[in-house]
Amino acid sequence: MALYVVRHHHAAERCPAQDPYMGATLLNHMSRPNVRQHGVEIKGEAVVQGEHTLYLIVEAPNEDCLHEFMSPFQQAGSVDIYLASTCARVVASGGCGGAMPASEMGPALDPEETCQQAIEAGLVVHRAHPLNCETSIPALVGGVVMPNAHFYVRNHFQNPDLDPATFRLTVSGLVERPLGFSLRELHNMRSQTIVATLECAGNGRAMFDPPVGGEKWNLGAVSTAEWTGVPLVEILDRAGVRTAAREVLFRGADGGTADGHSGPVRFERSLGLDRARDAEVLLAYAMNGEALPHQHGYPLRLIVPGWYAVASVKWLTEIELIDRPFDGPFQAEKYWYESERNGEIVREPVTLQKVRALITDPAANQEVECGDLAIRGVAWSGAASIARVEVSVGGGSWQEARLVGERKRHSWQWWELVTRIEEPGVANLRVRATDLAGRIQPERAEWNRLGYGNNAIHEVPIRIA
């Protein structure tokens, strides 16, 4: 089905609606049941008031079919048909006349469709292709988990469209028994469910000064879900890890062109063998009690609790045991803290999520009344559970907030502080978190060239009436 814009214009003296019977006939012709009989679907219609001009947005198999459907209108005036697009398609293709991007690695989802779904879910789109969008701060307010449709999306390439009937997860390399698993076989294995917060390593990149390149994430590239799947250690034990193995390499089905590489590359990441054997590392096939959504790695993805989400490879199809440090582009070239200290360039790999807290209510620049004020938000850390959240109002001393709900090792922690404000004006609310490992948010995050791990104290201005 193609999308068209149809324009019909007739002279004032030939307006069909002047005859009530002709007008009724055209209304019946435009009724949805009759439209469907012609193989056409009307997405929208409007008449320009007083100009005798009708516009339709229509999906149809082809232009001939559409001309046939519009024949009653041609008797009254002109009919012009234009091949159309949507805003999501235009942006995803890079311009009004651009061709839609094609996947270099096999069947993929339509970028227009995935982008439109994100917009309708209320996500804040940073890029239409590959799709990258964050959860709005108001949408973070809620329960223990984020609904699937509102969970932030981070992609490096187009979304693969994998067939669950033919899907195979292969395990190879330095193993005693190379293995392959169908999706059904994975579902029939011992399962485990964990609640874990995933955060993009670039969350907060837009706040770095001086600015850095990359996606300009604000603060919503973080969400929490309940993940269900097979413990990775069970797969490794079935395959039998050889003594020479040092790392476990995970290969996703997504791939494409990458800067500095002549041909297409796959999205690949590795874990050291000790980390990979952690009992909480999952091969997840369900998210919040439902099958993984396509944009979150359907039908299988890795979940590495506590680490920035780049480690949690989506659309996982291959696991390989290797005897050396992996040097793929998304491990050796990107996802490093790179800064200058004492005149030397220092590089550290991006691994554990840094401790962080956000204020979700009240919103920035919101007007509140003098008196009691409830300040709420969320905090998380990859190293340990949250120990303490403190809030400062208008430059005052730090006040300890109340932690709300059950404390979970890998899940964000809701918090609340009820305080009192007596003076009108403008005040800044500030929040910082401390985890049980003793890590505390800094006043200012250390600047790094690629803009990772910005966990500076969150500050929200409000107006007090």
Q: Are 171 and 327 in contact (CB under 8 A)?
A: no
Q: Are 4 and 66 in contact (CB under 8 A)?
A: yes
Residue-wise pLDDT for 353-394, tens only, equals 999 999 999 999 999 999 999 999 999 999 999 999 999 999
pLDDT at 106: 87
Q: How far apart are CA 416 and CA 405, in angstroms?
A: 11
Query: Is residue 280 predicted with pLDDT exceeding 90?
Result: yes
User: The tokens 């050889």 sit on which residue?
Assistant: 242
Query: Is residue 260 predicted with pLDDT exceeding 90?
Result: no
What confidence tier does 425 reach under pLDDT thresholds 50, 70, 90? very high
pLDDT at 262: 84
Q: Are 462 and 362 in contact (CB under 8 A)?
A: yes
The reported pTM is 0.91
Query: Is residue 429 predicted with pLDDT exceeding 90?
Result: yes
pLDDT at 340: 87
* Average pLDDT of the residues in 330-359: 95
Greatest Cα pair distance, the chain, in angstroms, is: 89
Q: What is the mean pLDDT of the chain?
A: 95
Residues 6+ apart with CB under 8 A from 8: 53, 54, 55, 56, 70, 73, 76, 77, 78, 79, 80
Q: With b meaning 16 or more CB within 10 Å and e meaning fewer, what string describes 165-175?
A: eebebebebbb
Which contacts of 175-180 are long-range, i.e. CB under 8 A and separated by 24 or more positions?
175/239, 175/240, 175/241, 175/242, 175/245, 175/321, 176/239, 176/240, 176/241, 176/242, 177/238, 177/239, 177/240, 178/239, 179/235, 179/238, 179/239
What confidence tier does 97 reach under pLDDT thresholds 50, 70, 90? confident
Query: Is residue 142 predicted with pLDDT exceeding 80?
Result: no
pLDDT at 42: 95
What confidence tier does 99 reach under pLDDT thresholds 50, 70, 90? confident
**Which domains does the chain carry?**
2-83 (3.30.70.1060), 148-334 (3.90.420.10), 356-464 (2.60.40.650)
* Average pLDDT of the residues in 115-136: 95
